[in-house]
Structures are given as C-alpha cells and as structure tokens.
Amino acid sequence: MTENKIYTRESATVQAEKWQAEGQKIVFTNGCFDIVHLGHIDYLEKARNLGDKLVLGLNTDASVRRLKGETRPVVNEYARSRMMAAFEFVDAVVLFDEPTPLELIETVKPDILVKGDDYSIETIVGADFVIGKGGEVKTIPLVKGYSTTSLIEKIKAI
C-alpha cells in the first residue's frame, strides 16, 4: 500500500535510523513534484540508484503556493504524496512546510543529498550539514525540455 511509504517527520527519522543501522545508505532529495513528468521519473530513479533507500521531502500545498504562486499546486499534497509513494524507487515520502528542507535533512541525516544539476553543490540547502557528517552531495543531470511550468503553459495554450 502506498500510504505505508508516507511518513511523518518523526516516523521517517526512526525508519532512517533503522535503515542506517542495517548498513543501508540513505539518499535524500526534495521538491514539489506537482504535475509528474518524465523529468521527475528520470531524476528520482537516478537519485535512488546512488544508495539503498530514497527519502523524498515533499513540499506541502502551502509551501508550494509560497514558492510558485497562488495557482499552484495543481495537484494537492495528499495526491502528490500517494503518487510519489507509488514509485518503486521511492522508499519514503515526508511532507515539509518550512521554506527549505533543512530541518528535515537535519532530522533524517541522509548519507547522500541530491538535487538536479540546475543547482551547484554550494547552493544546495543542507549540503554543509551532510558533508559535515561525512556524507556526500551530488547533482543529477536533468532531462531537457521537461518542467511542470512548461507543461502548464502548454495546456493553457490548447
């Protein structure tokens, strides 16, 4: 059941500690993942392949509105959580409402922090924390031509 992969911050922390105690490497990434497209799938698959478990920090609806504007998200947080949890390469989904995922990163303590290559390591929130505890920070090449914003513009033009 996909709902079993949706965690509270507290339960995600307990699960992450359990996985790490078993010697599994935890990869963490985050985002809005509003209208899911090929770019998201490719990115998340590649992120998961960097370790044993993928923890996905998912922006709440309120957080998405603050970042993207009042008309977003198109898909609500419950539906986005369920969709993300349905992917076999996502092991845990955790909603966060803060402006950045830093608190969640500091709680989950991932071994590997990942963002798209539209970021540099120096600009990735939580990079200093993860590197400071001996972890790695990596970027993944994004599939060109795919974005939720461009999909919305395309739909509006129809």
User: Per the structure, how many domains does the chain have?
Assistant: 1
Query: Residue 3: its pLDDT value, please?
Result: 85
Length of the chain: 158
For 104-136, the pLDDT digits (tens) are 999 999 999 999 999 999 999 999 999 999 999
Confidence of residue 67 (pLDDT cuts 50, 70, 90): very high
Between the CA of residue 18 and those of 15, 24, 95, 145, 151, what are the distances in Å? 5, 9, 20, 38, 39
Query: Residue 149: its pLDDT value, please?
Result: 78
CB atoms under 10 Å from CB of 42, counted, come to: 15
- Residue 129: CATH number of its domain: 3.40.50.620
Which domain range does residue 125 map to?
Answer: 2-157
Percent of the chain with pLDDT over 90: 87
* Cα 3 from Cα 81, distance rounded (Å): 8
